[in-house]
Amino acid sequence: MCRDCATRQRWTVLCTLSPIGDYAELREAVKIRDHISCRIQRIQAKVHNWLDRYFPEFLQVFTSWEGKAALETLNHFPLPQDIIEAGATQILTTWQKKIKRGLRPKRAMELVEQAKHSVGLCEGINMA
């Protein structure tokens, strides 16, 4: 069989096996979704790894790091040293800028207390 015939035959097989139209769109959407899901899982694992290393007590104060207050805290005060320096009042004012209801001053004080007694890494925080 000549090269052109083999190429034509492979092309015919590919055309019959690959979906066309809506099915092709659906296949691409599933591939994109799988890719995004894998990226999300990797990012979540990196955040959990970082929290376990530098501030393991964080999840004792917040049930999930994905909540509004938790994300604001990680954005503005990522390390226990930053939380201790800021204090409960500054943490509350930072939360009030983004979160309109459900603020708990007790949670801010608990966060500061947990930061004071944190067993997380203190070395290498500049690269964290």
Count of residues for the chain?
128
Residue 50 confidence (pLDDT) above 60: yes
What pLDDT, on the 0 to 100 scale, is given for residue 46? 93
In this structure, are 114 and 62 located in the same domain? yes
Q: Convert the pLDDT of each residue in 80-95 to its tens digit.
A: 999 999 999 999 999 8
In this structure, are 32 and 80 located in the same domain? no
What pLDDT, on the 0 to 100 scale, is given for residue 40? 94
In this structure, are 46 and 97 located in the same domain? no
In this structure, are 65 and 34 located in the same domain? no
In this structure, are 98 and 36 located in the same domain? no
In this structure, are 28 and 64 located in the same domain? no
In this structure, are 95 and 32 located in the same domain? no
In this structure, are 45 and 6 located in the same domain? yes
Residue 42 confidence (pLDDT) above 80: yes
Residue 15 CA to residue 27 CA, distance in Å, equals 15
In this structure, are 111 and 72 located in the same domain? yes
pLDDT band at residue 8 under the 50/70/90 scheme: low
3-state SS assignment for residue 111: helix
Residue 128 confidence (pLDDT) above 70: no
Residue 117 CA to residue 115 CA, distance in Å, equals 5
The two three-digit tokens of residue 68, written as one number: 């509004």
What pLDDT, on the 0 to 100 scale, is given for residue 100? 79
- Rounded mean pLDDT of 68-87? 91
The residue segments making up the domain with residue 83 are: 56-127
Instruction: Give the number of other Cβ atoms within 10 Å of residue 8's Cβ.
Output: 12
In this structure, are 81 and 92 located in the same domain? yes
Residue 111 CA to residue 116 CA, distance in Å, equals 9
In this structure, are 64 and 45 located in the same domain? no
In this structure, are 19 and 36 located in the same domain? yes
Q: How many domains does the chain have?
A: 2
Residues 6 or more apart from 93 whose CB is under 8 A from it?
A: none
Instruction: Give the number of other Cβ atoms within 10 Å of residue 124's Cβ.
Output: 9
